């Protein structure tokens, strides 16, 4: 009785071949533009390195744990 009420699966569509990938030919102008963008990115990255004050291990300077106060100097 269960197979009477189950709809049959429609047939699957045939598999189509993959389209050919586009050729990777880039004009000289496009290569120059990409090189200029990469150079600008590197310049910006180098400019930000000097602003980083910590290393991957953390701050390398000693922390000031004791401060003089006016009351107990």
pLDDT at 51: 65
| pLDDT band, very low/low/confident/very high, at 16 (cuts 50, 70, 90) | very high
Residues 41 and 35: beta-carbon distance below 8 Å:
no
Beta bridge partners of 58: 55
Q: How many residues does the chain have?
A: 73
Q: Which residues contact 26 (CB under 8 A, 6 or more apart)?
A: 34
Mean pLDDT over 3-29 rounds to: 85
For 17-64, how does the pLDDT look when each residue is reduced to its tens digit (9 = 90+)?
Answer: 998 888 878 889 999 999 999 999 888 877 666 666 666 676 666 767
Task: Provide the whole-model pTM.
Answer: 0.36
Query: Cα–Cα distance between 26 and 12 in angstroms, integer?
Result: 40
Maximum average pLDDT range among 1-5, 7-11, 68-72: 7-11
């Amino acid at each position: 009785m269960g197979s009477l009420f189950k709809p049959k699966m429609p047939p699957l569509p045939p598999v189509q071949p993959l389209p050919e990938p586009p050729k990777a030919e880039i004009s000289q102008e496009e290569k120059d533009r990409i090189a200029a963008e990469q150079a600008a990115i590197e310049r910006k990255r180098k400019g930000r390195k000097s602003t980083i004050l910590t290393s991957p291990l953390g701050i390398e300077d000693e922390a000031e744990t004791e401060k003089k106060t006016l009351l107990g100097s």
